C-alpha cells in the first residue's frame, strides 16, 4: 500500500458513499475535509448527480471553490466553468422518446444545470427529495426541439419504471447504440444512460490534466460503492470501498472502510492521509 503521506488529492462519490443516514455530511466528515483542505489537499466530489445537486454539499463541507466532476465524468467544472463536456446526441434521445411511447416509463433529461421531467410523478418527487433540486416540467418533444436549436445533448438520461419495461428498453438500446452508450442499472427500476466516451476515471484524468498537471493517478485516493466507481477505484493510488458497497466494488478496491452511514469516508481519511 502507498505511504499515507503520498496522497495529494481526494475524490469521493456521494450517494451510498459519502453521506449519512439523513443524506447529509456528518460533523466528523466536515472536520476531516477541513483538515485536508487546510493542508492543501483538494476534496473533489465525483458523482452521477447534476451540478446543482452537488453544490449544496460542497457548501455544507466548506469546499465551494473546489472543482466538480458531474454526470459520472460527463461534465467537469472548474470555477463554475466547463473544462470538459460530453453529451448524448439528440438522435439517441429521439429514439428513447420513441421507445418510451405507450409504456409507463418516466424519462428525465439532464444537461448541465437543466433537468426536465414530463410530470412530477413519484420518481421525480423521489429524486427531488434526494437531491434537493426541483426539475422543470415539460414534454420530451419540447426539450428535444429546444436543445436542437441550441445544439445541446444530454449529459445524462434517467429512465425509471417497472423492471420488465426497463429490461426491454435497455435491451433495445444495447442493440441499437451499445457502442455509444453506458447503460447503468443502479437498481432494477432505474436505468441511467450516458455516453460511452466518459467515466469517473476520464473525469479525473481531465481534471488532473487541466487543473493539477503536477499530479498523477498515483497521487489520488478515491471512494466509491457501485458499478460506476469500479474503473476509478482500480486506477487511482488508493481505491477505497465503503463496507456497504456491492461485491464487485469490494473485490477491486485496495481497502475497505466501514459503511457510509457510519462515517466510512471520514474514518478512512484519518487512517490513510496523515
DSSP of 4-45, one letter per residue?
Answer: TT---EEEE--TTTT--TTSS--HHHHHHHHHHHHTT--EEE
107: pLDDT strictly greater than 70: yes
Q: Report the SS3 class of residue 197.
A: coil
User: Collapsing DSSP states into helix, strand and coil, what is residue 225?
Assistant: coil
What is the per-residue pLDDT across 224-241, written as a single tens digit (0 to 9) for each? 999 999 999 999 999 999
CA atoms 69, 71, 74, 79: torsion sign: negative
Tell me if 32 is assigned to some domain: yes
**Residue ranges with strand state E in 155-267:** 156-160, 181-187, 190-195, 220-224, 238-241, 255-256
pLDDT for position 1 = 54
In this structure, of 9-13, 176-180, 182-186, 259-263, the range with the lowest mean pLDDT score is: 182-186
Banded pLDDT at 13 (limits 50, 70, 90): very high
Residue 189 resides in a domain: yes
Q: Which residues contact 85 (CB under 8 A, 6 or more apart)?
A: 74, 75, 76, 112, 155
**Domain boundaries, position 212:** 9-85+198-272
> Three-class SS of residue 144?
helix
Residues 96 and 188 in one domain: yes
Q: Which residue has the cell 456491492?
A: 246
Confidence band, pLDDT 50/70/90 cuts, at residue 2: low
In this structure, is residue 76 part of a structural domain?
Answer: yes
Of 122, 118, 127, nearest to 49 (Cα)?
127
Residue range 199-209: mean pLDDT, rounded: 98
CATH number at residue 154: 3.30.1240.10
Confidence label for 78 from pLDDT (cuts 50, 70 and 90): very high
Same domain membership, residue 50 and residue 113:
no
C-alpha 187/C-alpha 31 separation (Å) is 32
Mean predicted lDDT score pLDDT of the chain: 95
Q: Are residues 191 and 202 in the same domain?
A: no
Domain match, 101 and 49 both:
no
Amino acid at each position: 500500500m502507498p505511504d499515507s503521506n503520498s496522497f495529494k488529492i481526494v475524490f469521493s462519490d456521494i450517494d451510498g458513499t459519502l453521506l449519512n443516514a439523513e443524506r447529509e455530511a456528518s460533523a466528523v466528515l466536515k472536520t476531516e475535509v477541513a483538515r485536508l483542505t487546510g493542508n492543501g489537499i483538494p476534496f473533489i466530489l465525483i458523482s452521477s448527480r447534476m451540478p446543482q445537486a452537488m453544490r449544496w454539499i460542497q457548501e455544507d463541507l466548506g469546499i465551494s471553490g473546489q472543482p466538480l466532476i458531474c454526470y459520472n465524468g460527463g461534465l467537469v467544472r472548474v470555477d463554475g466553468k466547463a473544462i470538459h463536456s460530453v453529451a448524448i446526441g439528440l438522435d439517441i434521445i429521439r429514439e428513447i422518446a420513441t421507445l418510451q411511447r405507450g409504456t409507463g416509463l418516466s424519462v428525465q433529461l439532464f444537461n448541465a444545470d437543466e433537468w426536465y421531467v414530463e410530470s412530477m410523478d413519484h420518481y421525480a418527487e423521489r429524486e427531488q427529495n434526494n437531491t434537493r433540486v426541483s426539475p422543470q416540467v415539460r414534454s420530451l418533444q419540447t426539450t428535444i426541439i429546444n436543445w436542437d436549436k441550441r445544439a445541446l445533448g444530454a449529459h445524462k438520461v434517467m429512465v425509471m419504471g417497472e423492471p420488465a419495461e426497463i429490461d426491454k428498453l435497455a435491451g433495445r438500446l444495447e442493440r441499437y447504440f451499445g457502442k455509444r452508450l453506458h447503460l447503468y442499472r443502479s437498481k432494477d427500476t432505474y436505468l441511467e444512460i450516458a455516453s460511452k466516451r466518459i467515466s469517473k476515471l476520464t473525469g479525473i484524468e481531465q481534471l488532473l490534466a487541466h487543473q493539477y498537471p503536477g499530479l498523477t493517478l498515483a497521487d489520488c485516493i478515491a471512494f466509491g460503492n457501485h458499478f460506476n466507481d469500479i474503473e476509478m477505484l482500480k486506477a487511482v493510488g488508493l481505491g477505497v470501498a465503503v463496507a456497504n458497497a456491492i461485491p464487485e466494488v469490494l473485490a477491486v478496491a485496495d481497502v475497505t472502510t466501514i459503511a457510509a452511514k457510519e462515517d466510512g469516508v471520514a474514518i478512512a481519511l484519518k487512517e490513510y492521509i496523515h
